[in-house]
Structure 1
Amino acid sequence: MLIERFKSKIHRVKVTEANLNYIGSITIDEDLLDAANLIEGEKVQIVNNNNGERIETYIIKGERGSGVICLNGAAARRVQVGDVLIIIGYGLMDFEEAKTFVPSVVFPDENNRLVG
């Protein structure tokens, strides 16, 4: 049996941009993607701590070291620049593997940069 399990999280990043006139997705700094074990095109859930919105979309790789967190397209209407988000990736895995799987969790600083 396969189950869907939390595999990656970027915890408490700030929205730096919202681009309504884009096809869709979320642009994330490549450093954060690498640290959280997320990849371009991967489906993610975005939880907005400021207003409670939950959004599902896919990732676009942002400029490495930029700190960019940009909601694009329709999702841009559901955030404000400065909102605090949690970005969560899930994976399908065997039930037994899921019991011992250790997710990748990243806690960026207030400028969306890796700490340490």
Structure 2
Amino acid sequence: MSESAIQEVIRQQVGENPIILYMKGTPEQPMCGFSQRAAQALAACGREFAYVDVLQDDEVREGVKAFGDWPTIPQLYIDGELTGGSDIIMEMFDTGELQRLIDGAGGGEGTSG
């Protein structure tokens, strides 16, 4: 697949999912500690989220780094915006900011509270 086609796939994934995590592995079986912490923080916020296991496709793995101009995985997108990687996700989780973003994602449907 061409780089522009990969970018279009990622753009579509980010656009169709209010909350999407690009990670190594799955939330149930993360393949690195950073992805594990990010997925656990999202799960603790109480909303379903989409994820993409970048280990399944090297083109997506490299393409998402270019897409968000962010060099590492995991990467969290909320409402089409790159929120950040593992350290930022954990910092936002600790301050409650992640919960607020998650609650408002996609117009706020499906919030718990």
TM-score by length of 2: 0.31
Judging by fraction of residues, say which structure has more strand: 1
- Structure showing the higher helix proportion among its residues: 2
The TM-score, its normalising length taken from structure 1, stands at: 0.30
Larger radius of gyration: 1
RCO comparison, higher one (Cα < 8 Å, 6+): 1
